[in-house]
Chains A and B, each alone.
Chain A
Amino acid sequence: MNSFADQLLVLVMLINLVMLGSSRLLFSIRAVAVQGAILGILPGLIHPFSGHLAAITVGIILIKGVLIPYLISDAVRKAHIRREVEPFIGYVPTLFLGAIFTALAFVFAEKLPLAPEHKELLFVPASIATLLAGFLILTTRKKAISQVIGYLVLENGIFIFGLLLTEAMPFMVEAGALLDLLVGIFVMGIVINQISQEFSSIDTSRLRALKEE
């Protein structure tokens, strides 16, 4: 079963690259939804079945795969936007950077003092690569929606690492973390809506009234 998990993780990393190279927001949102749903399937592949596991699987797929993408695409529809404007760093350079980061993640993960049973798995390099891709989206894109997507990818990267430790995280904590994420995205969606009403654009590079003179 572990080889299947590894294939899914490769898919997760490919989705990172797809998102780095895409300017269409709705497409990126769908990609992040697929990524979230894959994260929901993964724990079932590496841990023995239990009620806790089933609840987590359903919770992750529902929240990361359905609810959050719905909230973001709702915000996109209300703000009437389709595409990211030209980012601070172009699509091809960020894609290139993303590929380099992914390669570095493998090199770095090789050197980490992992537990022996985790050495062969792709979880740790995939986690680091996704985390870095999230950072890259977060810092180079201008639209508020793209920044939210970047934050979600970053959070997905952290989640992949957390999958190794499902036993350590009691159900209450995982549920709380997912709920916090959901509410956070909900609030971000509202703020994006307000930004688009106030500035008739959700370009965050226009948010620059507040600074030191």
Chain B
Amino acid sequence: MLYALVLVPLTGALVAGLVPDNRLRPVVLPVVATIYLALSACLIMAPSAPSAGGWFWLDPLGKIVLLCVSILFTVCAYYGVGYLRYRQERSNRVLCIGLLICLAAMGLVTISQHLGLMWVAVEATSVSMAPLIYFNKNARSIEATWKYLLICSVGIALALLGLLFLAYSTYVAQKDATLLLSGLLGTARELNPGWLHAAVIFLLVGYGSKMGLAPLHTWKPDAYGEAPGMVGAMLAGGLVNCAFLAILRVYQICLASGSAELLFFQQVLVGMGLVSMAFAAVFMARQADFKRMLAYSSVEHVGILAIGLGLGKGALFGALFHLLNNGLTKGVLFLTSGNIHRSYGSKTTEVVKGVLTRLPWTGGLFMAGFIAITGSPPFSPFVSEYTIVSSAFIEGRYLVAGLFLLFLVIVFIGMALTVLPMVMGAPPDDVEPTEYRDSLLTVGPPLVALFLILLLGIWPPAFVIGLLRDGAALLGVQP
């Protein structure tokens, strides 16, 4: 069952490669996505046990990421059928194959308990996404792809060095050199502290650059800005969460190794998180390109995830919940921004005005997505951000909590200054009419995602709460 998470999308990729018709090919995406979603639902609901040898186990942390990835991919897949109708001028073969291979790699990330295998899968997600950023085939998208490819490849290579250091710390400690998570957690206390420390730093830098934590985020605005909306959604809600899962594994090892390393790791996470939020707050204001604005919003939210993890205790629950909420909300925002881009043929806010009049559904959804992502009730990001900040106050981290709130306010104002003029007002007369119209397939999927974050905000299902509790328990929170 577990292996189907990898094999089903790979089969889909093969089928997508064989379908010759450009109009028919995107249909493979929702078919695979629906099977994948059903499969993940079964796996998430069922109790799971480690496989023989301990290489594979869908533990609660993996389940949370898988839940987010499978829902987000399904939303994007149905949207993709509608969206690619407007992009018949170019072949979507590479796009469909790349998305499905990336889905397979993300599935592998969630189930692997061997850190080396997990690294291979994370690297596979980066490489498979690169041609997708280049979908528009113009000078700007080449530049974005090149930056993304180079920075992420070097970052991931440094993470590999971190893994080797980790294995070496077991070797120096006269243990069997291993990268199996269960083995590492068992012997974590006896690992050589110097090598462990170096490993933690390199892993954080490597996976941090993949996740887009400031100051390693420089590829993000370019890649998110130039990629098609649905690819942006998968980057912001899928790849980010896979890299965060890798950082969660490092956290587990730090936790098992004792207080000194954990304290260091937490402090660095909080520091990087705050810097990320600060960067986002500065660059979000007066951002003329709304897709780049969403990229900075992603930098802000990986910062929030890092802070939640760094604060520990009650905030961990919030961080895990935020992982889910951020992923789904980014889905709403990137997919609707793709619609806006199609309709206006531009992504600068000078041209894009009065979306609510021109595209009532898309405009409304984009507006609602903005309200949700900035942490306003009743949507679920409010709940998770509130959990993190209240936990910071309870723990007496007043400075962190104060800065967190300050940055949230600045981001809210900065984002509102871009979003409100876009959505409100009258559309300019000189915008050339395009053939894009809101339809069920381009508006329905983001609407479903919005409904889900509303549901999670008002009445989160018991199984989600249970999953988050189990996940937080793995990170050392007593239930």
Q: Which residues of A contact B (CB under 8 A)?
A: 112-115, 131, 138, 144, 147, 151, 154-155, 158, 161-162, 164-165, 167-170, 172-173, 176-177, 179-180, 183-184, 187-188, 190-191, 194-195, 198-199, 204, 207-210, 212-213
Q: Are B123 and A180 in contact (CB under 8 A)?
A: yes
Q: Are A158 and B160 in contact (CB under 8 A)?
A: yes
Q: Are A172 and B142 in contact (CB under 8 A)?
A: no
Which residue of the partner chain A has the closest CB to B287? Answer: A212
Q: Which residues of B contact A (CB under 8 A)?
A: 114, 116-117, 119-120, 123-124, 127, 130-131, 134, 137-140, 142-147, 149-150, 153-154, 157, 160-161, 164, 167-168, 170-172, 177-179, 192, 194-195, 221-222, 225-226, 283, 288
Complex CA gap A180/B127 in Å reads 8
Main secondary structure of the interface of B (DSSP, over half): helix
Chain A neighbourhood of B161, CB < 8 A: 131, 158, 161
Chain B neighbourhood of A167, CB < 8 A: 177
Chain A neighbourhood of B177, CB < 8 A: 165, 167-168
Chain A neighbourhood of B145, CB < 8 A: 191
Complex CA gap A155/B168 in Å reads 18
Instruction: Give the contacting residue for A173; candidates B116, B130, B150; CB below 8 A.
Output: B116
Chain A neighbourhood of B120, CB < 8 A: 173, 176-177, 179-180
Which residue of the partner chain B has the closest CB to A194? Answer: B142
Query: Can you give 10 contacting A-B residue pairs, CB < 8 Å?
Result: A151-B150, A151-B153, A173-B179, A176-B124, A180-B127, A183-B127, A184-B153, A188-B149, A191-B145, A209-B143
Q: How far is the CB of B444 from chain A (nearest CB, A)?
A: 32
Q: Are A113 and B192 in contact (CB under 8 A)?
A: yes
Complex CA gap A59/B188 in Å reads 32
With most chain B CB atoms within 10 A of its CB, the pick from A165, A172, A188, A198 is: A165
Which residue of the partner chain A has the closest CB to B202? Answer: A158
Chain B neighbourhood of A183, CB < 8 A: 124, 127
Q: How far is the CB of B197 from chain A (nearest CB, A)?
A: 11
Complex CA gap A114/B172 in Å reads 7
Q: How far is the CB of A83 from chain B (nearest CB, A)?
A: 20
With most chain A CB atoms within 10 A of its CB, the pick from B143, B149, B192 is: B143
Instruction: Give the contacting residue for B288; candidates A147, A188, A213; CB below 8 A.
Output: A213
Instruction: Give the contacting residue for B144; candidates A164, A187, A210; CB below 8 A.
Output: A210
Complex CA gap A7/B300 in Å reads 50
Q: Are A113 and B116 in contact (CB under 8 A)?
A: no
Chain A neighbourhood of B117, CB < 8 A: 172-173, 176
Question: Given contacts A147-B150, A210-B143, are A194 and B134 in contact (CB under 8 A)?
Answer: yes
Chain B neighbourhood of A169, CB < 8 A: 116, 167, 179
Q: Are B130 and A187 in contact (CB under 8 A)?
A: yes
Q: Are A191 and B179 in contact (CB under 8 A)?
A: no
Instruction: Give the contacting residue for A161; candidates B137, B164, B170; CB below 8 A.
Output: B164
In addition to A198-B139, A207-B142, 11 A-B residue pairs with Cβ atoms within 8 Å of each other are: A115-B172, A165-B164, A168-B179, A169-B179, A176-B116, A176-B124, A177-B120, A184-B127, A187-B127, A195-B146, A210-B226
Which residue of the partner chain B has the closest CB to A197? Answer: B142
Complex CA gap A209/B292 in Å reads 14
- Give 8 closest A-B pairs by Cβ, nearest first: A168-B177, A176-B120, A173-B116, A207-B143, A168-B167, A180-B123, A210-B222, A158-B161
Complex CA gap A190/B137 in Å reads 12
Complex CA gap A180/B128 in Å reads 10
Question: Given contacts A113-B192, A198-B142, A210-B140, are A154 and B157 in contact (CB under 8 A)?
Answer: yes
Q: How far is the CB of A43 from chain B (nearest CB, A)?
A: 14
Q: Are A187 and B178 in contact (CB under 8 A)?
A: no
Q: How far is the CB of B351 from chain A (nearest CB, A)?
A: 16
Complex CA gap A127/B278 in Å reads 36
Q: How far is the CB of A9 from chain B (nearest CB, A)?
A: 17
Chain B neighbourhood of A190, CB < 8 A: 131
Instruction: Give the contacting residue for B139; candidates A154, A179, A187, A199; CB below 8 A.
Output: A199
Q: How far is the CB of B282 from chain A (nearest CB, A)?
A: 9
Q: How far is the CB of B261 from chain A (nearest CB, A)?
A: 15
Which residue of the partner chain B has the closest CB to A147? Answer: B150
Question: Given contacts A177-B120, A190-B131, A191-B130, are A115 and B171 in contact (CB under 8 A)?
Answer: yes
Q: Are A113 and B142 in contact (CB under 8 A)?
A: no
Complex CA gap A172/B179 in Å reads 13
Q: Are A207 and B157 in contact (CB under 8 A)?
A: no
Q: How far is the CB of B66 from chain A (nearest CB, A)?
A: 20
